[in-house]
């Protein structure tokens, strides 16, 4: 019971503040009477499948896939536009070069589009590799992605 309540509080905190470290998250929880250790926070981060995205006030911040995907709005589209430098492909592989530190952010955006021809992606610091199901579908996926860059 306590874990569920604590994890809900974590989601509330990261939705309202830019939290970039487990230690900072631990401090925020302690402020609202959740006595936790960094080890507990580490397990919660894993359970909640939190990941880091580029922040506006800090370099990175924690985000939840559920809340982040649900908020694919103009803000996310604008972030995609602002982060993507190039889109290139060979056969069924698409390489998206991004501004430094934004590979994962662009990956979340692309994944949230749920393009059926994309079978997976791998994000690095400034690159996203997208694997398309067939060579023939790659131009279609490129075109769909380019629509978000206009």
For the ranges 30-44, 68-82, 130-144, which has the lowest average pLDDT? 68-82
59 and 120 together in one domain: no
CATH, residue 42 = 1.10.10.10
Domain boundary among 70, 92, 114: 70
What's the confidence (pLDDT) of residue 72?
54
Q: Let me know whether 82 and 117 are in one domain.
A: yes
Q: Which of 28, 49, 70 lies at the terminal end of a domain, its last residue?
A: 70
- Please answer whether residues 127 and 110 qualify as being in contact, where contact means their C-beta atoms are separated by less than 8 angstroms: no
| Average pLDDT value for residue range 122-137 | 96
What is the reported pTM?
A: 0.55
Q: Cα separation of 124 and 115, whole Å?
A: 20
Q: Is the pLDDT of residue 60 over 90?
A: no
Average pLDDT, integer, range 67-75 = 56
Average pLDDT along the chain: 88
What residues make up the domain containing 21?
A: 2-70
Q: Is 33 exposed, middle or buried (0-12, 13-18, 19+ CB in 10 A)?
A: exposed
CB-based contact 41:31 (threshold 8 Å): no
């Amino acid at each position: 019971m306590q874990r569920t309540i604590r994890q809900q509080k974590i989601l509330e905190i990261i939705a309202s503040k830019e939290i970039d470290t487990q230690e900072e998250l631990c401090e925020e929880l302690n402020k609202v009477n959740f006595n936790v250790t960094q080890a507990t926070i580490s397990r919660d981060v894993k359970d909640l499948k939190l990941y880091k995205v580029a922040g506006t006030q800090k370099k990175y911040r924690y985000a939840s896939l559920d809340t982040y995907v649900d908020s694919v709005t103009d803000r996310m589209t604008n972030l995609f536009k602002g982060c993507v430098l190039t889109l290139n492909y060979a056969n069924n592989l698409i390489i998206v070069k991004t501004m430094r530190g934004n590979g994962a952010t662009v990956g979340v955006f692309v994944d949230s589009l749920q393009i059926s021809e994309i079978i997976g992606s791998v994000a690095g610091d400034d690159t996203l590799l997208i694997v398309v199901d067939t060579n023939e579908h790659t131009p279609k996926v490129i075109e769909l992605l380019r629509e978000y860059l206009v």
